[in-house]
């Protein structure tokens, strides 16, 4: 009924808190979470199955349904293990439902999965993502269960529990004759619109009578005449369980849209159905029903979500107050007793009484009496206001008190049976008072607190389960979130005492064993997962493997050989960690100090020392993947090591001007790296790096901006530290000698250096003969000249200097393609290169700035023709460029022209101006041109291929040897499939005549005259152009009919790639603008075949209706109008669509409405369409199809099956190689819900 009606699941979003090099554990490998305090299990939403989850929970909490299903054993249903055996008779749906119910009752997990159940329904992943109507599902699921249980003892399970009967009666007012009709029902559908509640709706349906009187009379079968009568309905048989579906969704005929009724609609917790029943003489208890489930829909008619309120009939869950209510109750109790001298603890009083009893347990009533004797006051008078009833208080402390099986006796648990001394106030001197009365996580399942009404209600919302109060149901009377289905049970249905609080009741032994094994496995996985999640990986760096050099620690060997990995539980103490390290390093002598370490660009640096052996690793903040340095706390290799953030080493890039400047443009730099402590003074850095009289500059733009401005360190900056002036890892400083300072300008007291970036380009060698292609990095700025970059790359690659005169640099695209060479006199900025780009050093001279580097291919097929390259002057003409390309590709002749390559990598716009220069036509460096065969027509001319079409009047539509679609005869063997999956003709009667060039200003008559001169001509003689009919060619079939011989070709807007077919006629034809040309096939009586096709011209200027067409066809064949049947043929689908009968009755409401035109849906009648005609005087069959249609449909089905198989293979591949796709939400089409069931009859 609905499209995307489910809540979005954002569970795929996670935060990765794993350490370095540690992959996060996939969620699927983690065991499911255990049940929460309610002790009830939810159901996972597969994407759109909240409607299914709500109904399944309702069936689970219908104990009689659940136990009836469990009573069917493997001897009747079979076994799921035999499901794959071909001859096995396995009733999969009830078996999967049994298994799911057992999981919901016994398996210790927060939510169960319905994947196995929905697979047994035959649903695919699309069905699981599509939401349906829960009322529809209720009927379909019951039908599927009935079918699955045929031949078993549970064949009547659904009827026994849910079947009822409604009787409809009509009473004649004259003879009192009663005419009645029975209707079976599994659920009652009641109105919501205009009704205040359920009782009023039932009253309108089963109490109110409808009267037949005045003009609206009833024909009585007994009186055999029209008489006054009354009509009514009554409930004849009531089922044990009454399901009521509320009609919340209606259709607004004025707005032509669906809407949801959100008005208030009340329903009672208990309802007496006596007024609505046929038989009312039984006791009231026979008619009393109690509400136990409410399925709720939240949202509108095109979107929403389902959840369910359920009454826990067997008290399987742990119904308790919410934490906030507990807190408020505690605060209220404290306020009520804050003026008392001391607060007595009833727990201690009751423990003292029970500990003095010789018997293990005493009746609860006797316990209250003994309390009265001991304290001189009853429980109700002293404690009830604060703690509630005595039995309720005992039930809320299951860790202390233990009930008998019938809950009439109570005693202390073994661990509480000790001697308790009571003072006069009843205070327990050996135990502290208990503050919290509600135990949220007890080891055993207590009876739980009861709502004020005495019933336990829960809200089951997919995976989430929470207790609610009975009064919360009233919130679902109205609004966008409101009740949608109601489930009542007979009040007479009583549950056995042994079922109360016992989820294992009536579950078969094999399912109990399966669930026990599953719980054991779950517990084992949780222990393993807890251990794995609590473990952290630490990287130990041993001081014996390191040396202190250049301000940081560096390994003597490789990093990998200097590190020892250790995995330890984060809950252990620092002392445990130290002991583990001692055990790993048996040869360690002296003190052992553990320090937090951090790899920096300069090397390993040490921070704080770990202290406090009694602290846990988690408590001291030791993270997963942390680095620890193991040393004596003083020195490493005889060198004192400074630790802490104040002594962090910083790597600084030091730039100096190069001694030479190649190319005359831009600047070159020499780069080196130096390490300083972040607390080093800038003056010390200046003395270490700059010579006497030199200056030092820093990048004034920051790391996040383009490095353009350089600012000098002034005298007052020399006392600052490296950190305080903003220098950090990767920062650059520029050192200028005294003679270099002339290159900079002084502005506003600052020295502003070069206004361009200092960066690098990559150059890859393609000139080498060896297989390995080397890379080098070349330092450059945006003003560096490309010739300088090439020379430096040749020098860095150690190539011959002579290569400089016969090589060029070509950018490399992301897919590895070499792009057009860059002119050598360009700068990096002029070449539009980004810093860090990859260039290829290739053989061949680079084009100058006035030359164009172009790609070209011969023909539009890139696979058949290799891509070639050419360099031409931008002032060359199109003709000169074409000649150069023809010469390079080895072609000759003048029957060629050039076209651009369009964005689809196909031949596009033609370069028709042969004398125009490439620059004038905006041909750019790197463009691809296509050499296409054939001369271009002059400007304003059209080049049109001409085909001849055999006349339709000479064709026989049917026949054994030949077959016809849309008027073109072809051999059946010639049916082939195009890449788009459509059948196209390969052996049609379209005969290629040749190509003509004709001016766009010429008329259609001129085109026909020129076509008549082509060598390939039709069989019959064509005396004049009026004896020719012209069609455009569409998918190798006649398409649009071109009429009016005097009209210019440009007016038809034919396009550049149009093709035209001409059909020879036996007489002149003058088609007007309102004439419709139809191909009419008259059926052969007694055969699935037709006579030869007849052309029928129909004037539709007045009307284009069914009646008008019927008159025109009947007139043509001289037949009565009511003795013909017509149908339009759709050759692409091999289907016939009957044209509606002219005698069809029109309702009064639509009588004045204009009749629909046949040119609109569903016929879309146009020129050339095929109309089949049946003569009812000779042939009364209304089947228009032929044997050829049967064959065509069979081929289409085979093609569709192949596509389906291909899609399934693609989906399987997607599962193996998943890819993230954009999830764009659209309203999904409405699809009928179905459940596939095997045959068990």
Classify 1195 in phi/psi space as left (phi over 0), alpha (psi -120 to 50) or beta. alpha
912 Cβ neighbours under 8 A, 6+ residues apart: 897, 936, 939
Instruction: Quote the Cα angle for 507-509-514, to 5°.
Output: 95
**SS3 state of residue 514:** helix
**Chain centre distance of CA 992:** 51
Q: Tell me how far apart the alpha carbons of residues 469 and 455 are, in angstroms, rounded to a whole number.
A: 9
Question: Is position 305 annotated as part of the catalytic site?
Answer: yes
Q: Tell me how far apart the alpha carbons of residues 35 and 1136 are, in angstroms, rounded to a whole number.
A: 61
The answer to whether residues 780 and 761 touch, using CB atoms and an 8 Å cutoff, is yes
The answer to whether residues 252 and 259 touch, using CB atoms and an 8 Å cutoff, is yes
Q: Which of 132, 90, 46 is nearest to 1237 (CA)?
A: 90
The answer to whether residues 309 and 296 touch, using CB atoms and an 8 Å cutoff, is yes
379 Cβ neighbours under 8 A, 6+ residues apart: 346, 368, 371, 372, 390
CA distances from 1080 to 123, 672, 1175 (A): 46, 90, 13
The answer to whether residues 700 and 711 touch, using CB atoms and an 8 Å cutoff, is yes
Residue 108 token pair: 């210790």
Of the listed 132, 305, 307, 897, which one is catalytic? 305
The answer to whether residues 141 and 73 touch, using CB atoms and an 8 Å cutoff, is no
The answer to whether residues 930 and 859 touch, using CB atoms and an 8 Å cutoff, is yes
Q: Tell me how far apart the alpha carbons of residues 1188 and 1172 are, in angstroms, rounded to a whole number.
A: 15
Of the listed 50, 172, 220, 277, which one is catalytic? 50
Q: Tell me how far apart the alpha carbons of residues 235 and 167 are, in angstroms, rounded to a whole number.
A: 6
Residue 1060 token pair: 């035209």
Q: Tell me how far apart the alpha carbons of residues 169 and 177 are, in angstroms, rounded to a whole number.
A: 10
Residue 1088 token pair: 């699935």
- DSSP label at residue 1090: B
Q: Tell me how far apart the alpha carbons of residues 925 and 884 are, in angstroms, rounded to a whole number.
A: 16
1203 Cβ neighbours under 8 A, 6+ residues apart: 981
Query: Do you find a cis peptide bond into 95, omega within 30 degrees of 0?
Result: no
- Buried residues in 911-947 as b, exposed as e (16+ CB within 10 A): beeeeebbeebebebebebbbbeeebbeeeebebebb
In the sheet where 210-212 sits, what is the strand order? 178-185, 164-172, 229-237, 210-212
Residue 796 token pair: 């860095």
CA distances from 1061 to 1023, 1034, 1055 (A): 18, 10, 15
Question: Is position 50 annotated as part of the catalytic site?
Answer: yes
The answer to whether residues 743 and 695 touch, using CB atoms and an 8 Å cutoff, is no
**Chain centre distance of CA 143:** 31
- Which residues in 500-622 belong to E strands, given as ranges? 535-542, 546-549, 552-555, 563-569, 593-600, 603-609
**Chain centre distance of CA 1123:** 56
Q: What is the DSSP string of 248-302?
A: -EEEETTTTEEEE--S--B--SEEE-GGGBS---S-GGGTEEEEEEEEEEEEETT
- DSSP label at residue 197: B
Catalytic residues: 50, 305
């Amino acid at each position: 009924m609905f499209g995307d009606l489910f809540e979005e699941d954002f569970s795929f979003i996670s935060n990765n808190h794993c350490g370095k090099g540690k992959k996060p554990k996939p969620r699927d490998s983690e065991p499911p979470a255990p049940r929460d305090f309610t002790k009830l299990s939810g159901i996972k939403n597969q994407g759109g199955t909240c409607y299914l989850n709500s109904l399944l929970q309702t069936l689970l909490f219908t104990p009689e349904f659940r136990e009836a299903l469990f009573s069917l054993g493997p001897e009747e249903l079979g076994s799921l293990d035999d499901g794959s055996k071909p001859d096995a008779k396995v009733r999969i749906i009830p078996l999967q439902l049994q298994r799911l119910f057992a999981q919901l009752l016994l398996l210790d997990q927060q939510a169960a999965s319905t994947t196995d159940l929905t697979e047994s329904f035959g649903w695919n992943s699309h069905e699981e993502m599509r939401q349906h109507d829960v009322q529809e599902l209720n009927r379909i699921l019951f039908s599927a269960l009935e079918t699955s249980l045929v031949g078993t003892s549970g064949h009547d399970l659904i009827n026994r529990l849910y079947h009822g009967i409604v009787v409809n009666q009509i009473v004649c007012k004259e003879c009192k004759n009663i005419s009645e009709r029975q209707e079976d029902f599994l659920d009652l559908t009641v109105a919501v619109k205009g009704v205040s509640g359920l009782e009023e709706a039932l009253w309108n349906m089963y109490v109110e009578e409808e009267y037949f009187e005045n003009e609206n009379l009833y024909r009585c079968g007994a009186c055999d005449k029209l008489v006054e009568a009354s009509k009514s309905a009554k409930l004849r048989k009531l089922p044990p369980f009454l399901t009521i579906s509320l009609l919340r969704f209606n259709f607004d005929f004025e707005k032509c849209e669906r809407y949801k009724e959100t008005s208030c609609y009340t329903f009672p917790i208990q309802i007496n159905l006596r007024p609505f029943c046929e038989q009312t003489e039984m006791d009231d208890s026979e008619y009393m029903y109690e509400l136990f489930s409410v399925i709720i829909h939240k949202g509108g008619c095109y979107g929403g979500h389902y959840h369910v309120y359920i009454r826990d009939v067997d008290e399987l869950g742990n119904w308790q107050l919410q934490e906030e209510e507990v807190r408020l109750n505690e605060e209220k109790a404290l306020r009520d007793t804050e003026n008392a001298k001391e607060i007595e603890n009833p727990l201690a009083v009751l423990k003292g009484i029970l500990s003095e009893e010789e018997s293990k347990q005493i009746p609860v009533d006797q316990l209250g009496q003994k309390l009265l004797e001991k304290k001189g006051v009853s429980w109700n008078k002293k404690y009830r206001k604060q703690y509630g009833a005595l039995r309720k208080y005992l039930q809320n402390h299951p860790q202390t008190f233990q009930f008998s099986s019938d809950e009439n006796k109570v005693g202390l648990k073994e661990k509480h049976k000790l001697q308790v001394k009571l003072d006069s106030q009843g205070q327990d001197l050996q135990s502290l008072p208990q503050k919290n009365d509600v135990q949220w996580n007890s080891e055993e399942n207590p009876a739980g607190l009861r709502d004020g009404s005495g019933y336990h209600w829960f809200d089951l919302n997919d995976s989430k389960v929470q207790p609610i109060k009975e009064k919360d149901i009233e919130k679902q009377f109205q609004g966008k979130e409101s009740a949608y289905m109601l489930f009542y049970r007979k009040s007479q249905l009583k549950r056995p005492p042994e079922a109360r609080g016992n989820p294992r009741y009536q579950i078969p032994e094999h399912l109990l064993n399966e669930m026990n094994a599953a719980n054991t496995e779950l517990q084992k996985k949780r222990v393993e997962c807890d251990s794995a999640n609590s473990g952290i990986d630490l990287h130990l760096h041993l001081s014996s493997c390191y040396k202190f050099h250049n301000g940081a620690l560096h390994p003597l060997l490789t990093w990998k050989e200097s590190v020892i990995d250790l995995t330890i539980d984060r809950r252990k103490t620092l002392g445990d960690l130290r002991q583990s390290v001692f055990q790993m390093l048996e040869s360690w002598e002296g003190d052992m100090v553990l320090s937090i370490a951090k790899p920096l660009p300069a090397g390993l640096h040490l921070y704080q020392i770990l202290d406090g052996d009694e602290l846990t690793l988690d408590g001291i903040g030791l993270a997963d993947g942390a680095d620890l340095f193991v040393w004596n706390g003083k020195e490493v290799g005889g060198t004192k090591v400074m630790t802490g953030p104040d002594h962090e080493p910083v790597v600084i890039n030091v730039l100096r001007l190069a001694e030479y400047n190649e190319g005359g443009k831009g600047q070159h730099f020499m780069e080196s790296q130096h390490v300083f402590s972040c607390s080093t003074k800038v003056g010390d850095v200046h003395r270490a790096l700059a010579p006497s009289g030199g200056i030092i500059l820093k990048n004034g733009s920051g790391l996040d901006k383009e490095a353009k401005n350089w600012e000098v360190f002034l005298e007052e900056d020399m006392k600052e530290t490296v950190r305080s002036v903003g220098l950090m890892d990767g920062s650059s400083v520029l050192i200028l000698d005294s003679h270099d300072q002339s290159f900079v300008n002084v502005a506003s007291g600052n020295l502003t250096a070069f206004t361009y970036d200092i960066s690098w380009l990559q150059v890859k060698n393609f000139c080498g003969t060896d297989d390995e292609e080397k890379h080098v990095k070349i330092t450059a700025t945006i003003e560096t000249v490309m010739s300088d970059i090439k020379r430096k790359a040749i020098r860095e690659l150690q190539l011959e200097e002579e290569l400089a005169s016969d090589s060029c640099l070509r950018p490399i695209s992301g897919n590895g393609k070499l792009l057009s060479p860059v002119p050598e006199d360009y700068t990096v900025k002029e070449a539009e290169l980004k810093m860090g780009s990859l260039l290829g050093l290739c053989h061949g001279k680079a084009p100058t700035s006035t030359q164009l580097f172009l790609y070209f291919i011969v023909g539009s097929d890139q696979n058949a023709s290799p891509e070639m390259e050419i360099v031409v002057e931008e002032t060359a003409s199109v003709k000169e460029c074409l000649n150069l390309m023809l010469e390079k590709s080895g072609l000759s002749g003048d029957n060629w022209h050039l076209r651009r390559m369009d964005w689809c990598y196909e031949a596009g716009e033609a370069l028709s101006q042969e004398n125009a220069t490439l620059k004038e036509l905006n041909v750019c460096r790197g463009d691809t041109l296509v050499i296409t065969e054939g001369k271009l027509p002059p400007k304003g001319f059209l080049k049109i291929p001409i085909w001849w079409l055999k006349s339709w009047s000479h064709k026989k539509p049917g026949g054994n040897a030949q077959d016809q679609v849309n008027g073109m005869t072809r051999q059946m063997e010639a049916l082939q499939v195009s890449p788009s999956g459509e059948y196209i003709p390969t052996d049609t009667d379209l005969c290629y005549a040749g190509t003509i060039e004709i001016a766009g200003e010429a008329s259609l008559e001129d085109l026909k005259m020129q076509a008549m001169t082509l060598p390939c001509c039709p069989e019959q003689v064509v005396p004049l152009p009026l004896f020719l009919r012209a069609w455009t060619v569409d998918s190798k079939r006649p398409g649009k009919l071109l009429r009016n011989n005097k009209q210019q070709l440009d007016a038809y807007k034919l396009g550049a790639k149009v093709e035209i077919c001409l059909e020879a006629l036996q007489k002149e034809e003058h088609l007007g603008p309102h004439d419709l040309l139809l191909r009419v096939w008259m059926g052969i009586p007694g055969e699935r075949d037709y006579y030869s096709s007849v052309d029928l011209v129909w004037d539709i200027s007045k009307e284009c209706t069914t009646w008008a067409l019927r008159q025109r066809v009947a007139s043509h064949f001289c037949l009565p109008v009511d003795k013909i049947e017509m149908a339009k043929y759709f050759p692409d689908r091999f289907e016939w669509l009957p044209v509606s009968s002219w005698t069809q009755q029109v309702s009064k409401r639509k009588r004045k409405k204009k009749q629909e035109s046949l040119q609109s849906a569903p016929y879309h009648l146009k020129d050339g369409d095929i109309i089949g005609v049946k003569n009812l005087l000779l042939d009364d069959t209304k089947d228009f199809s032929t044997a050829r249609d049967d064959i065509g449909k069979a081929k289409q089905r085979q093609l569709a099956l192949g596509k389906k198989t291909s899609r399934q293979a693609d989906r399987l591949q997607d599962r193996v190689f998943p890819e993230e796709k954009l999830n764009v939400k659209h309203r999904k089409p409405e699809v009928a819900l179905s459940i596939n069931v095997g045959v068990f009859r």
